[in-house]
Structure 1
Amino acid sequence: MAKQPMLKFVKVERDMPTKRTAEDRKQDFNEIYAEFAAAKANEQASRCSQCGVPYCQNHCPLHNNIPDWLNMTATGRLEEAYAISQSTNTFPEICGRICPQDRLCEGNCVIEQSGHGTVTIGAVEKYITDTAWDNGWVKPIVPDAERTESVGIIGAGPGGLAAADMLRRAGIQVTIYDRYDRAGGLLTYGIPGFKLEKDVVMRRNKLLEDGGVRFVLNCNIGEDLSFDEIREQHDAVIIATGVYKTRDLQGPGAGAKGIVRAIDYLTASNKASFGDEVAELVDGTLNAEGKSVVVIGGGDTAMDCVRTAIRQGATSVKCLYRRDRANMPGSQREVQNAEEEGAEFVWLAAPKAFAGDPVTSVKVQQMRLGAPDASGRQSPEVIEGADFDESADLVIKALGFEPEDLPKLWGTDGLEVTRWGTVKANFGTGETSLDGVYAVGDIVRGASLVVWAIRDGRDTAQAILEKFNAKAAIAAE
């Protein structure tokens, strides 16, 4: 009888790839986890119980066929594992690195529920795709036949890139327009290298370019090119701009020098990692070196800022969040990594005012959790008379992102938006109020996960293909 390659969760303990020491990883922006060795990846994949109802798959926005590619990995069939993984996920090596697996696939693993510790799905996913790249299994797109239809995509983030990949595979002519000098959106300029090394993103961009996707970079819609001009040039247009407008701070002194936006701070740091000359880093405006840093916010962007400041050489880094640890939106894994590296979290604390210009300190008001709000989450309440001061030479606002006013920015009529400013679009197809115009990702959902943007991009590409095919069928009659 053949030896059972799976269901080893009772005998084999959960294990993660080796994590570099905090002292070591503070010195650079390289990823903090080592790669799984083949034997370790096989061992950890073999812990999967191959359950009849795979909750990991059900709770993945892309419904990745996780049990099958774990089985393939456990039995050494890595090229097949990659093929299965790539069939549902445009960027598995990126999701393997930055998805909050603890809230999605791993957090819903059946063996985790039974007390055996979840399968390390994210690390195995990363291993499979990195192995595929190393072995030359990842090939540029070669469509079976070229088609005449053309799609313009505004925004080169994960949603736009995922849509471009699917459309090119079907032979559609694709042009992506983006305001930055490199494609990737937040993958390139918003997420630090210690979570997602930039060559991982750049090689995907090059693969798309080699497959026939055309990139028009340094292009601001409404300035360099009008929205109407893009619509005229293409049979369909996808809006995939993401959300970049920063929620602002309130209170006296909030406009002082030394109080900066998270997106500006992270972009400057990431540009430097490419070897770019960044004036704001040189003059200290967006540089934490030698400074007392206060980061305001509790999401993953705040964690990115905290950990970047440590690597830049801040003398102290504190993160203020108005709720407690259990109620913060960011990944608990990221909080742990930040604490290991020397960051301090000040829970139940919110800024009230700022002293100095440039800023010298933050007046902090202590909070407590009160009655639940409409979502069921406890609302923070101010504890009167419990204010205190935190020294700060640099304050980073990481309070989340909101959509820009696209109809006004682009001077276009008829593009309907919601009361939150997001583009009103069908969640299944991405169709907007304008004929032939679609929208995907954060500009529809609000600030969300990369994996959801990928899902939206793929769904909308499929909807566009179906519409093109229907028109072609009518024309052929």
Structure 2
Amino acid sequence: MGKKTGFMEYTREHVFEREPGSRLNDWNEFSSPYSDEVLRIQGARCMDCGTPFCHLGMEINGVTTGCPINNLIPEWNDLVYRGKWQEALERLLKTNNFPEFTGRVCPAPCEGSCTLAISEPAVSIKNIERTIIDKGFENGWIKPRIPTSRTGKKIAVIGSGPAGLASADQLNQAGHSVTVYERVDRPGGLLMYGIPNMKLDKKIVERRIRLLEQEGIKFITNTEVGKDISVDELKSTYDAVILATGAQKHRDLQIEGRDAKGVHFAMDYLTSVTKSLLDSNFQDGQFINTEGKNVIVIGGGDTGADCIATALRQKCNSVIQFSKHPELPMERTADNMWPSYPNVYTLDYAHKEAKTIFGTDPREYLIQTKKIEKDANGHVKALHTIQMEKIYHEDGSYHFNELPGTESVWPADYVFIAIGFEGTETSLADQFGVETVNHKIKASVGKYQTNVEGVFVCGDARRGQSLIVWAINEGRAVARMVDYYLKTVAV
């Protein structure tokens, strides 16, 4: 694959990013692809490694390893190296319904499992993937694929995130009639409102939705199943139902002062900003505005980083991100060997931006929030914290000890809670009568069938909070099972 000696001749080029000083003045995407020639050379670095772990698609110690949708990475790397972009697109679309999303927001576990990454920087897989699909749209290679015949079977998909969209796409191409229900005003789920525009331009999401509509999929927005339309009506209208509602039950802080004004879930903050941007370019004022304010983000993950980037664009006065875990090492540790995902120190786009503005990485590690202090009006005034140490056990488990004498008080005008999600909201599941376990809808891998006849589940609603590639994986897989069900059982 690629050039036989390319990995020895060429070095990795990282994604081209606009300078933080300039990109903070707008809400456009912060990154863009390199030229064809640069990417041709990057494709040449693919090693012909014999066993390409990049598309392995499994979990090691609970962490994703390789590509869960089994992208044919070496094949399209080779085609890009040889300048055959349209053929590369054909190979890419064999496994991935939405490369324009994964090429922008996937954390690229494929690169962590790249054979070259054992001793050198990995092949620039994610950037090549994004460029292939972008070229497909720019050159008109992406056209509506309208099924030539219909089966007469009707399917309702509840939820329009990546899992729901992938299942709808696959089933529509199989000739079934698919309707996607979304309770908010725009389709896309977290792709639309959970990821800020500078990371994933919403025109990219809207373009894909329009294409799916042209191909025959119907989208019904501002409609909450179980409230605006009954579960019984849905089940009587459709031959099968797919629950792709995601994991939207926020994990919360149970501490004194949690009810203070100015304390919000991170997703509520990000949603308000993106919706106002799309609705009115912020002219409606219907968003949480941190301009001139001191912001603290509780939670060390990607959503927390997105809150940092958003607050910086709003011209906040300061921003800090709290993480309960220690700072990651600069290189892999003995218990984090290849091909598992590399848990090493990196500067996310948001952290680079904060460092440019304030001079330091905004993250604070091994810190626990103990109390939220309010002012006389009930608004958040400060956070009270204590430092911790992480104690590891022989079986791999760990616990945290608080360190007396390390208490601190941090001024704050806004606090955003970004500590993840417990699972799916179970009210809809209860109305359908499907079984749930730990806020997840119960269904086995490979079957995706709930305990209720004709009702299936996929994505985060089944597996819990996860990656976009797992959502697409399960959307494609549940579509296969629903197609089989419609052809063999619901006849």
TM-score (norm. length: structure 2) = 0.90
The alpha-carbon distance between structure 1 residues 235 and 467, as it changes in their structure 2 partners (threshold 3 A), is: same
Match of 1:105 in 2: 110
Match of 1:282 in 2: 285
Match of 2:408 in 1: 388
Q: CA deviation at 1:300?
A: 1.0
- 1:220-239 pair list within 5 angstroms: 220-239=224-243
Match of 1:309 in 2: 311
Q: CA deviation at 1:365?
A: 1.2
Q: Deviations over 1:35-92 (max 9, x none)?
A: 2211111111111012110011111100110000001111011111001101100001
The alpha-carbon distance between structure 1 residues 339 and 159, as it changes in their structure 2 partners (threshold 3 A), is: same
8 A Cα contact 2:249 2:425, kept in partner = no
Q: Deviations over 1:307-347 (max 9, x none)?
A: 11111110100001111122898993426535444451111
CA–CA distance in structure 1, aligned partners of residues 4 and 176 of structure 2: 41
The alpha-carbon distance between structure 1 residues 124 and 162, as it changes in their structure 2 partners (threshold 3 A), is: same
CA–CA distance in structure 1, aligned partners of residues 363 and 215 of structure 2: 45
The alpha-carbon distance between structure 1 residues 445 and 381, as it changes in their structure 2 partners (threshold 3 A), is: same
Say which of 174, 177, 195 aligns to 2:199. 195
Q: Is 1:359 paired with 2:364? A: no
In structure 2, the gaps of 5 or more residues are 57-65, 330-341
Q: Deviations over 1:416-438 (max 9, x none)?
A: 001x1110012112111111100
The alpha-carbon distance between structure 1 residues 7 and 377, as it changes in their structure 2 partners (threshold 3 A), is: farther
Counterpart of 1:332, as a letter, is T
Calculate the aligned-residue CA RMSD, in Å: 2.2
CA–CA distance in structure 1, aligned partners of residues 388 and 134 of structure 2: 45
CA–CA distance in structure 2, aligned partners of residues 329 and 423 of structure 1: 30
The alpha-carbon distance between structure 1 residues 222 and 414, as it changes in their structure 2 partners (threshold 3 A), is: closer
Q: CA deviation at 1:277?
A: 7.3
Q: Deviations over 1:193-225 (max 9, x none)?
A: 121111111101111011110011001122101
Q: Deviations over 1:288-321 (max 9, x none)?
A: 1110000000111111111111111101000011
Q: CA deviation at 1:378?
A: 3.4
Q: Is 1:412 paired with 2:420? A: no
Secondary structure of the 1:67 match is: helix
CA–CA distance in structure 2, aligned partners of residues 222 and 451 of structure 1: 28
Percent identity reads 37
Q: Deviations over 1:160-204 (max 9, x none)?
A: 000010011111000000111110000000001121111111101
Secondary structure of the 1:165 match is: helix
Q: Deviations over 1:258-278 (max 9, x none)?
A: 101111100011112213477
Q: CA deviation at 1:34?
A: 2.1
Q: CA deviation at 1:405?
A: 4.1
CA–CA distance in structure 2, aligned partners of residues 446 and 411 of structure 1: 17
Say which of 450, 459, 468 aligns to 1:432. 450
8 A Cα contact 2:429 2:436, kept in partner = no
Match of 1:448 in 2: 466
The alpha-carbon distance between structure 1 residues 10 and 411, as it changes in their structure 2 partners (threshold 3 A), is: closer
Q: Deviations over 1:325-379 (max 9, x none)?
A: 22898993426535444451111111111111201110011111113497x2532
- 1:168-187 pair list within 5 angstroms: 168-187=172-191
8 A Cα contact 2:172 2:178, kept in partner = yes
- 1:343-358 pair list within 5 angstroms: 344-356=362-374, 357-358=378-379
Counterpart of 2:431, as a letter, is T
Counterpart of 1:442, as a letter, is D
Counterpart of 1:368, as a letter, is E
Q: CA deviation at 1:471?
A: 4.6
CA–CA distance in structure 1, aligned partners of residues 26 and 397 of structure 2: 37
CA–CA distance in structure 1, aligned partners of residues 351 and 77 of structure 2: 27
- 1:70-81 pair list within 5 angstroms: 70-81=77-88
Q: Is 1:84 paired with 2:91? A: yes
CA–CA distance in structure 1, aligned partners of residues 111 and 318 of structure 2: 33
Secondary structure of the 1:97 match is: helix
8 A Cα contact 2:185 2:222, kept in partner = yes
CA–CA distance in structure 1, aligned partners of residues 2 and 231 of structure 2: 58
8 A Cα contact 1:5 1:75, kept in partner = no
The alpha-carbon distance between structure 1 residues 89 and 147, as it changes in their structure 2 partners (threshold 3 A), is: same
Counterpart of 2:10, as a letter, is V
Q: CA deviation at 1:383?
A: 1.1
Match of 1:378 in 2: 398
Counterpart of 1:220, as a letter, is E
8 A Cα contact 2:372 2:382, kept in partner = yes
The alpha-carbon distance between structure 1 residues 436 and 430, as it changes in their structure 2 partners (threshold 3 A), is: same
Q: Is 1:249 paired with 2:268? A: no
CA–CA distance in structure 2, aligned partners of residues 45 and 182 of structure 1: 36
Counterpart of 2:265, as a letter, is R
CA–CA distance in structure 2, aligned partners of residues 429 and 405 of structure 1: 22
Secondary structure of the 2:209 match is: helix
The alpha-carbon distance between structure 1 residues 180 and 234, as it changes in their structure 2 partners (threshold 3 A), is: same
CA–CA distance in structure 1, aligned partners of residues 288 and 443 of structure 2: 36
Say which of 326, 329, 351 aligns to 2:328. 326
In structure 1, the gaps of 5 or more residues are none
Say which of 206, 216, 221 aligns to 2:220. 216
Question: Once structures 1 and 2 are overlaid, which stretch shifts more, 7-16 or 81-90?
Answer: 7-16
CA–CA distance in structure 1, aligned partners of residues 424 and 113 of structure 2: 35
Say which of 138, 146, 155 aligns to 2:159. 155
8 A Cα contact 1:247 1:399, kept in partner = yes
Q: CA deviation at 1:149?
A: 0.6
Q: Is 1:466 paired with 2:480? A: no
The alpha-carbon distance between structure 1 residues 256 and 437, as it changes in their structure 2 partners (threshold 3 A), is: same
CA–CA distance in structure 2, aligned partners of residues 282 and 377 of structure 1: 46
CA–CA distance in structure 2, aligned partners of residues 360 and 330 of structure 1: 34
The alpha-carbon distance between structure 1 residues 46 and 417, as it changes in their structure 2 partners (threshold 3 A), is: same
Secondary structure of the 2:440 match is: coil
Q: CA deviation at 1:468?
A: 2.2
Q: Deviations over 1:231-275 (max 9, x none)?
A: 111111000001112111122111100101111100011112213
Match of 1:400 in 2: 420
Secondary structure of the 1:24 match is: helix
8 A Cα contact 1:6 1:71, kept in partner = no
8 A Cα contact 1:226 1:410, kept in partner = no
